[in-house]
Every structure is written in C-alpha cells, then in structure tokens.
Amino acid sequence: MTRIKIDPVTRIEGHLRIEAEVTGGKVSEAWASGTMFRGIEKIVEGRDAREAWIWAQRICGVCTTVHAIASVRAVEDAVGATPPPNAELVRNLIAGSQLVHDHVIHFYHLHALDWVDVVSALKANPAKASSLAQSISDYPLSSTAYFQGVLTRLKTLADSGQLSLFASGYWGHPAYQLTAEENLIAVAHYLDALEWQRDVIRIHAVLGGKNPHPQTFVVGGMATPLDPNSPQAINEERITFLRSLLKTMRTFVEQVYLPDVLLVASAYPEWTKIGGGTRNFLTYGGYGKGSVADTASYLFPRGIIRDLDLTRVLPMDQAKITEQVARSWYTYPQGNQAALHPYKGETDANYTGPKPPYQWLNTGDKYSWLKAPRYDGQVMEVGPLARALVAYAAGVPAVKQSVDATLKKLGVAPAALYSTLGRVAARALESEIVMSQLEGWLDELDRNMNAGDLRIADTAKWDPSSWPSSARGFGPHEVPRGSLGHWVEISDGTISRYQAVVPTTWNASPRDAQGQPGPYEQALVGTPVADPSRPLELLRTVHSFDPCLACAVHVLDAEDGGQRTTVSVDTG
C-alpha cells in the first residue's frame, strides 16, 4: 500500500489537500481536507441585515456574485420583500452569464491540462491541426497560419526554458491520450478563452458596476436604474451592447467549448466509468421567471435523487439539511456527534486539540476546516451533474434533448454521466442551456422597459422598523459548483446568526459522525494511479468537481502554506 498527498491542489480556488491510499494501482481510500479557515459567517454577526450581501459576496472571487444573490434572498425571505420581475431578470442575467463564464474558465484554465499534454502539442503539424479543427467546428480561427502562430508562441516559451503558465504539469504522463494536433487545438483555445472571458464579463460591468463583485444588489431588488431614454440608466444602447456581448459568449460556447468537450470525452472513454462516487444528488433548483417561491417556473428543478434512481425525483426540504463537525476542526456546544440545521449552526473555530500534523493528517480524527453537510443524514453530490440528473429524471425537455443528443454522439448510455467525464459533460450541457435563456431574459427586460415597466426594487420593506423583531430566512441559489444556501436570523434589524452551506462544502466534505466519506472521498475510490509520484488521475476526478475551498470554509499554516505543491509518497 502506498499513501499519497497532494497539497495544495492547484488550478482551483482556495486550499485543498488530498490524501489517498493506493493499493494494487488503484485508490482504496481517500481524504479531502480544506486547509484554510475564514469565518465570514462570524464577521456578519451584529451587522445591519441589509448589508450582509456586501460582506458575504467576499466569500469568493471565482463564483463572484453568487453569495450576494443567496444573501439578499435570505434576507428577503426573512423580512418579506419581493423583488419585481425586472430585478429577477437582471439577477438571472448576472447569474447566468457568471455561470457560463465560470464553466468555460473551469474547462480550459482549471481542468483541460489534466487531459491535454501541452508539451506534446509542440510536435503538432499545424496543417493537420487546421483540417481537424475545421472538421469539428465552424470556429473561424482555424487556419494553418493560426495554428502555426500558436505553435511558435509555445515553442518560444519552451525554448526559454520556462513554460510559464504551463510549468509544472505532468507532461509526458502515460495517461495522456490526445494526438499532438488535438493537444495543439486545445492549447490554442486555452489562450483564446483567456481573452474571451475578459471581454464577455463586461456584462457584469454594465449590470453590476464591476466584476468581480457586482455592486448593484439591494434587499428587495436591484439598484440598477432602468430607463430606455436616460444616459444614466440601463437604456436601449446598453441593451444593444449586452446583446452583442451575449452573442460573443454564445459563439465561443457553441463553436469552441462544446466541440472541445466532445473531443476530450471521445478520447477518454474509460473516464465515463471512473469517478462516480456517491449515488445521491441534491438541487435547490433555480433560474425561474419570478420570485424564488415560484418553483414551478424553474429552469433547473428542485429535488433529490437517491441511489442513482432516475425514475423518480424526491422532494427537497431544506429543513432536512444539517452540518456535522465530528471530523472537522470545530466544536459544537451540543457535542461532537451533533448534526445542526443551519438555523442552529455554529462556526466556532475553537478547536483545542493538538496542532494538526501536516506531514500526514490524522485522518482517523479531525482533519478539515470544512464541515460535513448532509441531507437527512445522507451524503449528497451537488453541481452541474446533480442539476442534469434531477432535470433529466424530471423530464425537463431542454435537458433531456441535450443530454440524449450528447450521449448518442459519444455512443454511451445515461449511466456514463455518473463519472468524472459526466461532470465535465454536464457542465458543458448546462452552459448551452443557460446560454439559450440569457438572450430571452434580455429580450424580456427590453420589452418590459419599452412597455413602461421600470420597476426594479420593492422598497416597502427597506426600513427595518417594518420588519418583525425577530425573523429568519433561507436564500437558495444554483451556482456553477452546485446548490448554495444562506440562512440568516435577524433580531431587531441586525444579524444574530448567519450560516452559509456552499457547494464545495457539500462535495469536498470530510467524513461525518457516522464515518461516511464525502463526495470527493467516495469518487476517488477506484481511480487508477499509474505513477504515485505523478498522480494525474487523482487530479482528473478532483478537478471534475471544480473545487472552491475559499467558498467551502468561508488560517493557512504559514510554515507549510508558502511552498509550492508537494506530492509526497509513503510506501508502507
């Protein structure tokens, strides 16, 4: 048996450590540890509930905006404020464009190099790459000269002896399967995606003032003025500009991202059988036409899939959510075995045990700054795959068509979704689906404005004296990495308790009081490892979840934290 640690896992947000035992060339047991603590839930205590979103949004800069939305929703739920339809449309536009932007960045900049060997691309024939690219897509940047240019840039980097943004990969690893030309196409699109993402996120600058962290949220709606005839408001000229940005966004998704995901998926068919993990999936659902309460209009339905049974979607009741800390560096006043609903949750990092042993974690005891969220006591995966499975099982036409068409192209059955590559494919499919809604939401906003409906905020509940003296609320949101919930308790206008349970907290959770491993820990079991000192295969499955530990734990060990990633192997 060999024990591996990767710390920190790079090409993610935040600080994640993975330890795994490898037996007979496969992972037999794994542990995921969040090695940072932030405590935003403590920071908002005692503050005016109307400003919670400003603080909460700082939980993360990758899934920017999402915590602002979950936070204002929680406060709106508590105080009874109802955003008007235009505010919901603007929120959908901000959130939907963030989701597509984030998924493209994840695929190219955080995950592609687990599948794409950059050094192999140096051997590519640009003319062959050009004809291959033209056979799979209409993307206009596909000439021999274009690929020759990318190759020259790459060769310049390699000849300088420094691979810069491509340094420290496991280049030449036997698990890489793409041809040199396929690798060159992917590297070219990696570079193009850097420019694309900078351009399209100007949607947030228009609707939110800036990115990251749009500044136009308000409890009860948005602070974005609408007026077709005013230069100071969202007007006809800005709507036209947004339309052009959405077109740029759509073109890249359709002509580059989706064909590249198919290219990678076709080259790695065995990865539709690896990395499944937990068989339970949870969604809060979202992207409706009206208020959060209008669940019937959700683009992604709310629900639970248990034991991979796609014949029925069970109801999701947030009252059944708890967080446990038996294996996390926290203590609950109610004891180590307690499972607390977020309305009763505690974020007291008053861990008083021995200093965590960083050479190898004490995985038999507490080993992570993440809590362990559970639904009805059960481990749940959240995220694009959960959304795809719940929507597929619920028979949502857009999702069924899109999933079935992709499965047909790849020649695989729906069970193939339950895998490392299934997560990658689900992310691409939902990008296409959300993309197709974004233009409709913008058209609807434009129509409302032209019909004279300029309402953007419900101010009836702005004054805290109109609130009950004590109130509590739940703010759900479906965000790139999965189901996000904020729970707030308000006493006399200020926050008395605040809890966020974040997608990566669900997926990267440690074991719980019953010893059940979290989704990453389950998904890694069975992963083949050709070379324990270069555990590329582990990264494939971990990255397929798109980890964000900054979100998940909402102290980094200064002695260990300053180093570059260490991969340690202990053969015992």
Q: Give residues in contact with ligand NFE (CB under 6 A).
A: 13, 60, 62-63, 66, 479-481, 484, 502-504, 548, 550-552
Give the C-alpha separation, 442 to 437, whole Å: 9
Select from ligand NFE, Mg ion, none the partner in contact with residue 481, using the beta carbon and a kind-dependent cut-off of 5 to 8 Å: ligand NFE
Q: How far is the CB of 188 from ligand NFE (least distance, A)?
A: 27
Nearer to Mg ion, 161 or 333 (CB): 333
Identify the bridge partners of residue 472 per DSSP, sorted by sequence position: 489
Question: Which is closer to ligand NFE, CB of 178 or CB of 253?
Answer: 253
**Judged by CB, which is closer to Mg ion: 252, or 332?**
332
84-118 per-residue burial string, b: 16 or more CB within 10 A, e: under 16: bbbbbbbbbbbbbbbbbbbbbbbbbebbbbbbbbb
The least CB distance from residue 450 to ligand NFE, in Å, is 34
* 99 vs 500, beta carbon nearer Mg ion: 500
Instruction: Tell me which stretch binds Mg ion (CB under 5 A): 58-66, 142-150, 249-257, 492-500.
Output: 492-500
442 binds, among ligand NFE, Mg ion, none (CB under 5 to 8 A by kind): none
CB-CB contact of 340 with 326 (8 Å): no
Q: What share of the chain is helix, strand, coil (3-state, %, to 5)?
A: 45, 15, 40
Among 492, 495, 516, 493, smallest CA distance to 506 is for 516
**Whole-angstrom distance, CA of residue 562 vs CA of residue 555:** 12
Q: How far is the CB of 36 from ligand NFE (least distance, A)?
A: 12
Stretch (H or E) spanning 135: helix 126-136
Closest contact distance (angstroms) between CB of 393 and Mg ion is 28
* Closest CB to ligand NFE among residues 27, 500: 500
Question: How is the beta sheet containing 470-479 ordered, strand by strand?
Answer: 470-479, 482-491, 494-501
Among Mg ion, ligand NFE, none, what does residue 69 contact (CB within 5–8 Å per kind)? none
Among ligand NFE, Mg ion, none, what binds residue 368 when CB lies within 5 to 8 Å by partner kind? none
CA distances from 328 to 70, 320, 324, 504, 512 (A): 25, 20, 8, 15, 8
State the nearest-atom distance from the C-beta of 554 to Mg ion, in Å.
Answer: 5
Q: Which is closer to ligand NFE, CB of 66 or CB of 435?
A: 66
How far, in whole angstroms, is CA 428 from its chain's centroid? 12
Measured from the CB of residue 324, what is the shortest distance to ligand NFE in angstroms? Answer: 18
Query: Which CB sits closer to ligand NFE, 68 or 529?
Result: 68
Q: Which does 403 bind (CB under 5 to 8 A by kind): Mg ion, ligand NFE, none?
A: none
CA distance 280 to 39: 29
The count of residues in the chain is 572
Q: Hey, which residues does 495 pair with through a beta bridge?
A: 490
Smallest separation, CB 501 to Mg ion (Å): 5
User: CB 63 → ligand NFE: shortest distance, Å?
Assistant: 3
Q: How far is the CB of 552 from Mg ion (least distance, A)?
A: 8
The CB-of-151 to ligand NFE minimum distance in angstroms stands at 34
Q: Are 285 and 386 in contact (CB under 8 A)?
A: no
Distance CA 283, CA 500 (A): 16
Sign of CA dihedral 162, 167, 171, 177: negative
CB of 60 to Mg ion, least distance (A): 12
Cis omega before residue 228 (within 30°)? no
Closest contact distance (angstroms) between CB of 478 and ligand NFE is 9
Q: Which is nearer to ligand NFE, 83 or 373 (CB)?
A: 373
SS (H, E, C) 476-508: EEEECCEEEEEEEEEECCEEEEEEEECHHHHHC
Site for Mg ion (CB under 5 A): how many residues?
Answer: 1
Partner in contact with 116, chosen from ligand NFE, Mg ion, none, beta carbon below 5 to 8 Å by kind: none
Residue 94 contact, options Mg ion, ligand NFE, none, Cβ 5-8 Å cut-off depending on partner type: none
Identity (one letter) of the amino acid at 240?
Answer: T
Q: CA-CA distances (angstroms) from residue 286 to 162, 179, 252, 290?
A: 45, 40, 24, 10
DSSP 68-87: HHHHHHHHHHHHT----HHH
Rounded Cα distance between 300 and 211, Å, is 25
**From the centroid of its chain, how far is CA 190?**
19
Binding segment for Mg ion among 91-99, 194-202, 236-244, 493-501 (CB under 5 A)?
493-501
74 lines the binding site for Mg ion (CB under 5 A): no
Residue at token pair 């691309």: 121
Q: Which is nearer to ligand NFE, 461 or 554 (CB)?
A: 554
Region from 30-38, 330-338, 475-483, 495-503 binding Mg ion, contact rule CB under 5 A: 495-503
Radius of gyration of the chain (CA): 23
The residue of the chain with the least Cβ separation from Mg ion equals 500
From 54-62, 305-313, 498-506, 528-536, span contacting Mg ion (CB under 5 A): 498-506
503 binds, among ligand NFE, Mg ion, none (CB under 5 to 8 A by kind): ligand NFE
Task: Using CB under 5 A, pick the residue from 325, 426, 500, 552 that binds Mg ion.
Answer: 500
Q: How far is the CB of 205 from ligand NFE (least distance, A)?
A: 20
The binder of 60, among Mg ion, ligand NFE, none, by C-beta within 5 to 8 A per type, is: ligand NFE
Q: Contact residues for Mg ion (CB under 5 A)?
A: 500
